[in-house]
Structure 1
Amino acid sequence: MALWRIRATVDDRPGYLSVLTASLALRSVNILAVQVHTTEAGAVDDFLVDAPDTMSEADMLAAVTRGRGRDAFVARAEAQGLADQPTRALALAGRLVHDPDALGEALVALLDAREVRWRPESAAGHGFTGGRMTLADPAGGAFEVLRDAPAFTPAEFARGQALIELSGALLRQQAEQATVLLPDGAELLIRVATGEDAEAVQRMHARSSAGSRRLRYLGGMQAPTDTRLRRLLERVGGVTLLAVHVDPRSGEERVVAMATLLAEGDLGEVALLVEDAWQRRGLGTALLRRLVAWAGRNEVAAVVAHTTAENTGMLRTLRRLGAEPTDRDGAMLTATIPVPGRRTASDETPARPGLNQSGLNQSGLT
């Protein structure tokens, strides 16, 4: 017995699929898997079958024609085709979680493509015709997917677009995580906070001195309630960054600083808490620089910071960022931090990491 892939269009009417399957059964063809794609031209039936070794491509085409199938495509298949399409798609999605740059190879595998090309310019008319498909890249540009046969279907177009959007989300998440080396040689991970970090952040508050917490929460609060903390960590407007130290011996992770940008419209406000043992080591500056960069990418026009005259550490950090207090209200000082210019057109459509013009992953790129 031999594995074959068959694709044919039949009228989308009751009983027509059974006519095609009966014609195949008369030739001792065993259907292992079937997918049905609804199109304007009719129902496109995609089969993986096991057929007698004596059956040729011409015999298979004849059986499909007798079963009222048209625009038939038949080809020998490999054993990996036994995996059903949902399982195949989930496996490729799992691969992208570990390697978002493998999108080109994943599209080739998902769509049985001959070639995948990424173009920096946005291609007009995203869609598919025959063996050519154009998929929009949310980061800018477009993917061209090519194969000789069979023609693409609406279901395949939707699968390809979903895989691209997953890869884009993973790349954005990856870009929001970085390892920084402080001037004294300490290495920390800086990443976007989530609600799951609430317990670790509360422990960081407990390790911080009362004086540090008072300077962070100017209203006199020593630590946020659980409800308020979750609002800070799961920002709807703005972002919260955490600095995480990983113990090289035990692998234990400890949150040692938190920096928050609250944004409303095009205005933002930043606040910072660094655990006492990590103060005066450049960590606050590193965090605030990333918040201001985030503001620039997200069209926040102005960022302010409120502090007090006694918070000399925060004042030094603000000056490093080019901000000087301009307003005073009693002991309260307000400084405006310069926000970098908004992104240029080239920034809006960056080249896809790891994917060259031929669609092959370039080794050595990160």
Structure 2
Amino acid sequence: MTPRAQNSPAAELSCEVCGLMPEPPKTRLTLANVAVMLPIELLVHALVVDTQLPYVAKVLVLAVTATVLVIWVAEPSAARILRGWLHAPALRHRRKLGTAPALWRARTVLRDEPGSLQKVTKALARLDTNILSIHVHPVPGGVLDEFVLAAPGSVSERELLEALHESGGTRAHVWPTTALAMADGQTRALSLAARIADAPEELPLAVAELLRARILSPAEAVLEKHDAGTRLKIPTAWHGPIIFVRPGEPFTPAESARAHRLAELAEILAHRPAASGPN
């Protein structure tokens, strides 16, 4: 069996499960059927009208013949011959989605020397990928650069990782993200600080939201093992130690500092005497 061409409408739009194409727009389907049916109808009429059949017989022959030809010839031919035109709006939409920018979060460790970031930007530029935001965290052996990237929809996670490695980055990680990533860590921390100021007992949930991490129960903390840097312990006097985990994505020093400051804020507010009302 001959494989379908990868750039054909059937290859791009057919369902992976049932193999059916989406329903084309009614207007285009009607025009396609008329274009295919009209020559058949004219030919059948020309052949039947010149016969010596009675009028009623001519009408029956025309009706039956036209119906059969429409069902078995016209509609399948229109769907096959004019497939590209019938599904042109869906194809344009599909291709537009394929080239639409996708947002990614990326991290990589670079040498703390001039030109290191420039190599990364050039490698990403070759993929038509734009750096929307960048945060730099000092770490042992260099700097950890954290990016929010806008890349064409056709660019894959593997291509981004290869670009980061080829430009001198190490320990690179890439994750799909949303526009919420554009809110930087400082902004999120201030918003959550306001939340804790109103309700200090919200500290564990607020820190988990800030770090996009999961809270471990004491039993889970004993049983679960994680890579270095993916577990963070926040000591508190009234909650006890709170342990957060984020598998595959180590916490940065800045994130750890923000989490500890939120814990300090909650401790201060929790032990502050309630303001006495007016006598």
TM range (shorter): 0.5 to 0.7
1:102 corresponds to: 202
Change (3 A) 1:33 1:11: same
| Alpha-carbon separation, structure 1, partners of 2:212 and 2:169 | 22
| Alpha-carbon separation, structure 2, partners of 1:118 and 1:100 | 21
Which of 149, 152, 157 is the equivalent residue of 1:57?
157
Residues 1:25 and 2:119 are matched in the alignment: no
2:264 corresponds to: 165
> Is the contact between residue 215 and residue 242 of structure 2 (CA under 8 Å) also seen in structure 1?
no
| Alpha-carbon separation, structure 1, partners of 2:126 and 2:168 | 14
Change (3 A) 1:117 1:37: farther
The alignment's C-alpha RMSD in Å is 2.1
How far does residue 41 in structure 1 lie from its aligned partner after superposition? 2.7
Deviations 1:52-86 (A, max 9, x none): 00011111111111111110110100221111221
| Alpha-carbon separation, structure 1, partners of 2:251 and 2:156 | 25
Which of 34, 50, 72 is the equivalent residue of 2:134?
34
Deviations 1:41-60 (A, max 9, x none): 31000001110000111111
Residue identity opposite 2:159 in structure 1: D
Q: TM-score, normalised by structure 1?
A: 0.45
The structure with more radius of gyration: 2
SS at match of 1:96: helix
Moved over 6 A (4+): none
1:74 corresponds to: 174
SS at match of 1:28: coil
Which of 195, 214, 217 is the equivalent residue of 1:114?
214
Identity of aligned residues (%): 35
| Alpha-carbon separation, structure 2, partners of 1:44 and 1:118 | 31
SS at match of 1:108: helix
Residues 1:136 and 2:248 are matched in the alignment: no
- Compare the two structures and name the one with the higher helix fraction: 2
| Alpha-carbon separation, structure 2, partners of 1:14 and 1:138 | 44
> Is the contact between residue 111 and residue 143 of structure 2 (CA under 8 Å) also seen in structure 1?
yes
Q: Which runs of 5+ in 1 are unaligned?
A: 178-190, 192-241, 245-254, 257-366
SS at match of 2:264: helix
SS at match of 1:95: helix
How far does residue 118 in structure 1 lie from its aligned partner after superposition? 6.9
**Pairs within 5 Å for 1:323-334:** none
Q: Which runs of 5+ in 2 are unaligned?
A: 1-100
**Pairs within 5 Å for 1:168-207:** 168-173=267-272, 176-177=273-274, 191=275
| Alpha-carbon separation, structure 2, partners of 1:149 and 1:115 | 15
| Alpha-carbon separation, structure 2, partners of 1:141 and 1:98 | 20
1:233 corresponds to: none
**Pairs within 5 Å for 1:10-21:** 10-21=110-121
- Compare the two structures and name the one with the higher strand fraction: 1
How many residues align? The count is 173
How far does residue 140 in structure 1 lie from its aligned partner after superposition? 6.6
1:84 corresponds to: 184
Change (3 A) 1:6 1:172: same
> Is the contact between residue 108 and residue 116 of structure 1 (CA under 8 Å) also seen in structure 2?
no
Residue identity opposite 1:92 in structure 2: L
1:208 corresponds to: none
